[in-house]
Amino acid sequence: MIIDALYNKVQERGPICLGLDTRLDYLPQYLLDSELTVEEKLYQFNKRIIDETLDLVACYKLQIACYEALGLEGLRAYSRTLSYIRGAGALVIADIKRGDISSTAEMYAKGHFEGDFEADFITVNPYMGLDAISPYFKYLKTGKKGIFVLIKTSNESSKDFQELVAEGLPVYQHAAAKVKDWGSEFIGESGFSLVGGVVGLTYPQEFKAIEKVAPSTFFLIPGYGAQGGTGEAVAELFKEKTCGVINSSREIITAHKGKTEGEDFAKYARERVLHMKEDIGQWLK
């Protein structure tokens, strides 16, 4: 199962998920000044970073919003980047956070598990309940696709709804319980399910409580770096077991800023990933 492949990568290389949340203003000047199309500029930027980090990271994540913001051209770059990552044998999470009723969720499943936008994993929003999630199960049954359901997101306003207390438990704990139920049919050799969860590194206590409710859940954990999460916080979560991937984007893909505007920009991304591995590793030891 693909969750085992992801788990194995994390065991082997550490838990880094490199977020290609690419924006035009992140690009080095030489690329911005080139006569390439916007599509090509974005793609070349991503490709060089991927080439420099392919041996280091557990997986990649693309925030589709960054590409949607640039319209069709952006989405062409998105499609090519996904294809390049998968063609290189690496795993990729499409951070799309879709959520809609069943017949519509079927369309999203088709859109992001097949064709131009095919990814290995997608993120989904649970607000509409089971029938907004179950259409993905058909793909999970093949063992080749997985989902990460939003449980407790890394932003401050996640409290607005996710921390409302119902029947003695915050809403995010209800989400965790659902994720456990939904995922119980899809558990791989690693002991983890193809139905994973998104929990922010910014909420370590909540993380522990969620893990207790849903112990077979592999986590996609945003919030490292720019959002405030530290290597020490990661080590705390991973003390007992390898339980997920830690996403970092801006810090890595803008690491060249102030250092170079030239073709060597991607080596700073590599350096930054190595630094992140060290930061997490020193605490894990």
Residue 147: left if φ>0, alpha if ψ -120 to 50, beta else—which one? beta
For residues 105 and 237, which CB has a smaller minimum distance to a second copy in the complex?
105
Dist CA 26 CA 45 (whole Å)? 9
How many residues touch a second copy under the rule CB under 8 A: the total is 58
Give the pairing of strands 165-166 and 169-170. Answer: antiparallel
Q: Which stretch binds a second copy (CB under 8 A): 40-48, 71-79, 211-219, 230-238?
A: 71-79
Instruction: Say whether 97 is catalytic.
Output: yes
- Among positions 129-168, residues that touch a second copy (CB under 8 A) are 129-132, 150, 153-162, 164-167
DSSP character at residue 240: S
Site for a second copy contains 76 (CB under 8 A) = yes
**Rounded to whole angstroms, what are the CA distances from 31 to 24, 49, 77, 215, 261?**
10, 13, 15, 45, 8
Site for a second copy contains 128 (CB under 8 A) = yes
Catalytic residue chosen out of the listed positions 97, 159, 257, 267: 97
Site for a second copy contains 53 (CB under 8 A) = no
**Rounded to whole angstroms, what are the CA distances from 174 to 18, 162, 168, 199, 228?**
29, 9, 10, 13, 26
Dist CA 207 CA 122 (whole Å)? 20
Q: Which stretch binds a second copy (CB under 8 A): 94-102, 230-238, 254-262, 268-276?
A: 94-102
Q: Site residues (CB under 8 A) for a second copy? A: 21, 23, 63, 65-66, 68-76, 79, 97-102, 104-105, 107-108, 110-112, 115-117, 125-132, 150, 153-162, 164-167, 171, 174-175, 178
Residues with a known catalytic role? 97
